[in-house]
Amino acid sequence: MAELQKKYGFWTATAMVVGIVIGSGVFFKADDVLKASGGSLTTALTAWLIGGLIMVVTAYVFSKIATRIEKVNGVVDYFEQAYGSKAGYLVAWFMTFIYYPTLVAVLAWVSANYTAGLLQMENGVWPISAIYLTAFFLLNYFSPILAGKWQVTSTVVKLIPLGLVAIVGGVVGLSSGQTMTNFMQTADTVSGEGGLAVATLSTAFAYEGWIIATVINAELRDAKRTLPRALVVGTIAVAAIYMLYYLGISGVLTNAEVLAEGDGAPVKVIALIFDKLSGTVLTVFVIISCLGTLNGLIMGSARGMYSIASRRMGPAPDVFRKVNPVTNSTINSAVLGYLLSCMWLVVWYGNFNGWWGQFMDISELPIAFLYVIYISIYIWVMRTFTDLGSFSRFLCPLLAAAGSLYIIWGAVQKDMFLHFLVISLIIVAVGLPYMRVRR
């Protein structure tokens, strides 16, 4: 049986952290955060700051774990080490059937949304979503090395629109006084839409993804040194970039205009400062940015069932642990990841067509469920990592746990939270009969 080779280094790992996190959320969640903040820029920025701090502290705690455990699937390995193989199996099942494919589906849609807008194809969003989803699964299936190089390249490219909005918008806002005006005036086009907790939950999607870098742990050269550095450096960079970007938008658009523009706010900023052509070019950069995130999520999704089968657990482990000897990519695991992502894309489609009665936000709710798992890992760190100092062993895990609880509280207030909880429990229950190790 072929094994996954150590083919990635520090820059690929860091690119996965930065590249998966910075992608779509910062573009299409900006107005959602402001809306949940009741139109207040101060509250919105506070939400972005809290979300960023939660991410950095959480990544720091996980960096301490990553120096000790080097297997196949990051958070699953950690949970398994803490609470046993059966507990790790349940987390892997959740990641494979819910977490990865829901986010892949949403990212394919976001990428298609910007593409359809650029091409002026009103009815093209969903077909393009399916095309993107299929194309990047095929890329990871036939050429994982090329997929890794795309991850690094798209990470560099995606910093261009963020840098332009942050620098140009920041300078314009400070010189015109627009930034200070936004701090002082709340948009009157929206009233309280959930408050700081719900706004922070919206930033959680924009900050999510760094944990997926741990799925290539076993494929990293010098993983015990490389992964912790990538986690800490990458998350700090993301938090700083996001804050500057959001200030850049507020330097050109009023709070009310940000809400009105919605996902198109960053394109509008550049178009106002330069010209329509610049806005079009920026849209291309945004699309590349989103596709970089989509690729990173698919790198995780393609390995989902493999991580279960590599433990000789789950249905047909010999089938799902197969690795292509030529491309060194997962085979049947990637196919299952693709099919599950297609299924969740249909669920996402149903949201926009009133199938469920309310909006089941699969862009945020799975992330909140993952934070429940994180809290259990923090408890394990505090209980067993006796060689660490008080800062790393107690203070950081406690701060990370408090942040996790805050995000979970925001999720509880979302529409259809209980519905999604029940669906998730049913999906996990389906995997229970396959929990035992198969020889």
Determine how many CB atoms are found less than 10 A away from the CB of residue 71. 18
pLDDT: is 366 or 327 the higher one? 366
Other CB atoms within 10 A of residue 149 CB: 13
Looking at residue 234, its pLDDT comes to 82
Max CA pair span of the chain = 70
The model carries a pTM of: 0.78
What's the one-letter identity of residue 264? G
pLDDT: which is higher, 276 or 335:
335
Reply yes or no on whether the pLDDT at 384 is more than 70: yes
Confidence of residue 430 (pLDDT cuts 50, 70, 90): very high
Region 131-142 average pLDDT: 90
- Name the pLDDT band for 326 (thresholds 50, 70, 90): confident
| Cβ–Cβ under 8 Å, residues 107 and 292 | no
DSSP state of 7: -
Closest CA to 44 of 28, 33, 31: 33
Write down the pLDDT at residue 1: 44
Determine the length of the chain: 439
Name the architecture of domain 10-434. Answer: Up-down Bundle (1.20)
Residue in 354, 357, 361 with CA at minimum distance from that of residue 411: 361
- In this predicted structure, the answer to whether residue 322 has a pLDDT above a threshold of 90 is no
Mean pLDDT of 178-185: 81
3-class DSSP string for 253-297: CCHHHHHHHHHHHHHHHHHHHCCHHHHHHHHHHHHHHHHHHHHHH
Asked whether the beta carbons of 305 and 332 are under 8 A apart, the reply is: yes
10 Å CB burial of residue 70 (0-12, 13-18, 19+) is middle
For 20, the token pair is 């998966």
Q: Which amino acid is at 84?
A: G
Instruction: Please compute, for residue 327, the number of CA atoms within 13 A of its CA located in the half-sphere on the CB side.
Output: 17
Cβ 30 vs Cβ 265: under 8 Å: yes
Please name the residues in contact with 353: beta carbons below 8 A apart, sequence gap of 6 or more.
Answer: none
Distances (CA, A) of 301 to 22, 100, 147, 321: 18, 5, 13, 14
pLDDT band for 275, please (50, 70, 90 cuts).
low
Distances (CA, A) of 112 to 44, 107, 108, 124, 409: 27, 8, 6, 8, 31
Residue 73 reports pLDDT greater than 60:
no
Q: Which two tokens stand for residue 41?
A: 């820029």
Tell me the pLDDT band of 169, cut-offs 50, 70 and 90: confident
- The proportion of the chain whose per-residue pLDDT surpasses 70, expressed as a percent, equals 86
Q: Token pair 């393609």 is at which residue?
A: 302
Three-state secondary-structure class, residue 38: coil
Tens of pLDDT, residue by residue over 201-257, are: 888 878 876 776 666 666 667 766 777 778 888 888 888 888 888 888 888 888 888
Output the average pLDDT for the chain: 83
3-state secondary structure of 48: helix
